[in-house]
Structure 1
């Protein structure tokens, strides 16, 4: 009995009748089943995405057959755009001779404008696509020896490529975000994933160009807000006789919390991996120059903006067993009713790539057996920091499977991860970035009904806690995964607690 597996590849077909059918016929000839095909001439006139199921050996034969027929895309040329004014002699065959030189020079013509009765009868305006640096120099040398010419524009990024090779252009924009070390096979797989998201969202009425723009915007914003563009909003709160809490709101991602208890430092969440060096510089500015005092990192859940930098800290990293599994599966919807969502899986791949996600090595897992409950939440562990005793609570899986919370009843502190957030405290820039995730996955919660149930339960716990605490005591602190550390007012609204100061890398 033949094994059935799923395979994906990208076909490169000429823009002519019957070309797409040739690919489908080859797939069918070898007994494979096409489970996904996506082609849209409005995006790219020659690129088709396929997923097939069938025997691995037969799939290998199909790919070989398509490759030999020139119908398989196996590389992504690093195109460069050269725009020239070339002045031709007024004689028969001059244009043909010029075009022949261009062809022999290995350039593809993207645009040409020539009119003997126009304003510049002797001038050809031409845009060329060249895939190697050396080709540019050689071609210019050949042309300049035969013609008077002017270089109008040279674009080594390929941003001005026309839409006949849209995915080549898109891949080059991705290269700018993740570095030139990404090989073509990796980028082709990434393009296949992004195309699957585009296909799904197009079926929901979304504009494909908007989806591509949102993907790039997610990566570009992370780059712009790292290094010299990095900043944070900061709260410093004395929460007990021995412990001071620092809340650092990242530009685009989840909060990073630091608990200082004497000579011991404990982190709750790490932010995106791309921010790691920026966070270290920020901590130094606040006096934390000796990270040898950092004893533990506690991770609330597996989203990249909360644990993407966890592998960069050389200390034990504590998390729920399910969180480790979500990281391993690279699918933020793992363990939820949305597990099969293409949008969730591809978004995880995308954001992990753009944000420099690093997998922790020294992992310590909380219990999978409940030690009791707080409200509807199982207690799966305990954490002591100075004179504070936190219960580790397992969420219900609304925002993400295995999301955990830290609750200290005595001190009145609840680390609520992404279940309870003071959205009113978010800056417009942070709201805009959060909106990108919503646009790409439709909801940041893998189960919105459960997420509402969890939020109501946490707010009720904190409301009851406030009632039981004396008037002279500090209000209960809600430390959300984003936004300011807040307290509940008499109307149940979240109000930022204490002073919020601003940190900027440039200052």
Structure 2
């Protein structure tokens, strides 16, 4: 690969070329260089940055060789932007099929072409390559993907037979190793990391969803780009996004809920509490012939929730009202389905309107995390089949009262139980409310005051509960911490008022079991 001797003059040509992202492209390109008398002095390709773009420097002994190569490239349209996408693009779906080597190449023109041809014979698709004559004139770093692990073994045997000297840098890994593999596209990294959470059939379902929408794929790429700018925040959001994706694997015959002990109140009112497979809760009041819900869980669980209600001899059509704590997909994602099928009335804080219209749970915030929130919201909504209602009844903010440090913006009845809609201070996400019944001491706290010990090890791991709720996904962490303390004070205030009646306040969080405060 190195060029002529230093005493001999040569022409150095630098250019970018666009190749199809498929096996054999590099071999054909390298052969064209060799056939026109070119000698590669620099070659860089990183599929994770651009699946087609190659930066290359080629040495020629005269201008005729460079002109000949230019004609060949033009004839093959290798310089055309149209080759950026191709129906033959290869997608890396298993790290076991990835091999990265540092290979020694002989000091002669055509060495790269010969090695690239060997890769092509074994269907190896190069995903990364770096050769720099000034750094190391005799070797190149090459990462590639094959159709299966057996082909990697056959390729390495062929490299040995042909006398190539190489060192294996990487061969296969678990899903956590995806981030370290050079040349993988961001979308591929996401799905490879999901392998730890989902069976292959469910990952393929998600992969098909992404393939079907160029906009969705771009959102995933942009999400990872923004996450790269905010590494700690990106790690938290990625875990939550993976958890949201995991919900798709917990439907149908795999749907399991944890039912917490029911509560009964005067006036024949019963409160049922359910924890869905990905840890979020929904609550159901049964009063007379009517059902009232607080939160719904992800939209992907809608059919399963209807089946759950029917098993309990409850008619889903009797769900006449749903009160949403805030417009995150794991709390509001099923509300639109109930409204579409049964005409259910859905209530939210007016601040939820802007979140839904902009599909950004961080709307109104400033700083670097704004875009990360936007792409997270859009991806989570699509992956979990979120459907917000077309008609939302927003609480009218009139003559607000007080509940400790919070404003109460509305009140409503569920049977004989009177509830107050308590407005959040805005630390977690816009449009969040708590629901409080003072007489019975019922406080629905959404993503605050969670009962962490009640969560399973699996839920803690994937929800990453402490960091998820105490750092970056909050619009304002300082305010979030302040209102956490304010909620504790409110619970204590309500508790004091219940002492004469011998009752205790009960906290109903959005994740984990309810508990007495």
TM-score interval, smaller chain: 0.5 to 0.7
Question: Any residues of structure 2 matched to 1:423-434 within 5 Å, and which?
Answer: 423-434=452-463
Q: Tell me, yes or no, if the aligned pair for 2:16 and 2:79 is still in contact at 8 Å.
A: no
Question: What corresponds to 2:132 in structure 1?
Answer: none
Q: Tell me, yes or no, if the aligned pair for 1:300 and 1:417 is still in contact at 8 Å.
A: yes
Quote the Cα distance in structure 2 between the aligned partners of 1:259 and 1:408: 13
Alpha-carbon spacing, 1:248–1:351, altered in 2? closer, same or farther (3 Å): same
Shift of 1:218: 2.9
Question: Any residues of structure 2 matched to 1:319-334 within 5 Å, and which?
Answer: 319-334=348-363
Q: Tell me, yes or no, if the aligned pair for 2:259 and 2:274 is still in contact at 8 Å.
A: yes
TM-score (norm 1): 0.64
For residue 464 of structure 2, give the secondary structure of its aligned residue in structure 1.
Answer: helix
Answer yes or no: is 1:265 the counterpart of 2:291: yes
Question: Any residues of structure 2 matched to 1:344-359 within 5 Å, and which?
Answer: 344-359=373-388
**Structure having the higher Rg:** 2
- Which of 185, 208, 225 aligns to 1:166? It is 185
Quote the Cα distance in structure 2 between the aligned partners of 1:67 and 1:285: 63
> How many pairs are equivalent?
381
Answer yes or no: is 1:379 the counterpart of 2:403: no
**More helix per residue:** 2
Alpha-carbon spacing, 1:184–1:279, altered in 2? closer, same or farther (3 Å): closer
For residue 342 of structure 1, give the secondary structure of its aligned residue in structure 2.
Answer: helix
Question: What corresponds to 1:62 in structure 2?
Answer: none
For residue 321 of structure 1, give the secondary structure of its aligned residue in structure 2.
Answer: coil
Quote the Cα distance in structure 2 between the aligned partners of 1:436 and 1:41: 39
- Which of 263, 266, 272 aligns to 1:237? It is 263
Q: Tell me, yes or no, if the aligned pair for 1:265 and 1:296 is still in contact at 8 Å.
A: yes
Q: Which moved more, 1:391-400 or 1:74-83?
A: 74-83
Question: What corresponds to 2:208 in structure 1?
Answer: 180
Q: Tell me, yes or no, if the aligned pair for 1:419 and 1:455 is still in contact at 8 Å.
A: yes
For residue 351 of structure 2, give the secondary structure of its aligned residue in structure 1.
Answer: helix
Quote the Cα distance in structure 1 between the aligned partners of 2:507 and 2:243: 28
- Which of 300, 306, 309 aligns to 1:280? It is 306
Quote the Cα distance in structure 2 between the aligned partners of 1:45 and 1:310: 39
Answer yes or no: is 1:226 the counterpart of 2:251: yes
Q: Tell me, yes or no, if the aligned pair for 1:244 and 1:259 is still in contact at 8 Å.
A: yes
Alpha-carbon spacing, 1:196–1:270, altered in 2? closer, same or farther (3 Å): same
Structure 2: 5+ residue stretches without partners: 1-12, 19-43, 54-76, 98-112, 127-143, 145-151, 163-177, 195-202
For residue 436 of structure 2, give the secondary structure of its aligned residue in structure 1.
Answer: strand
Q: Tell me, yes or no, if the aligned pair for 1:253 and 1:272 is still in contact at 8 Å.
A: no
Alpha-carbon spacing, 1:478–1:163, altered in 2? closer, same or farther (3 Å): same
Structure 1: 5+ residue stretches without partners: 1-15, 22-39, 50-64, 84-95, 122-158, 489-507
Alpha-carbon spacing, 1:113–1:184, altered in 2? closer, same or farther (3 Å): farther
Answer yes or no: is 1:405 the counterpart of 2:471: no
TM-score (norm 2): 0.63
Q: Tell me, yes or no, if the aligned pair for 2:187 and 2:221 is still in contact at 8 Å.
A: no
Quote the Cα distance in structure 2 between the aligned partners of 1:402 and 1:477: 23
Deviation digits for residues 282-331 of structure 1 (CA, Å, limit 9, x no counterpart): 2222222x122211011110111100111110211111111122122111
Quote the Cα distance in structure 1 between the aligned partners of 2:81 and 2:244: 36
Answer yes or no: is 1:44 the counterpart of 2:48: yes
- Which of 468, 481, 498 aligns to 2:510? It is 481
Question: What corresponds to 2:449 in structure 1?
Answer: 420
Q: Tell me, yes or no, if the aligned pair for 1:437 and 1:444 is still in contact at 8 Å.
A: no
Alpha-carbon spacing, 1:467–1:284, altered in 2? closer, same or farther (3 Å): same
Quote the Cα distance in structure 1 between the aligned partners of 2:283 and 2:84: 49
Alpha-carbon spacing, 1:470–1:172, altered in 2? closer, same or farther (3 Å): closer
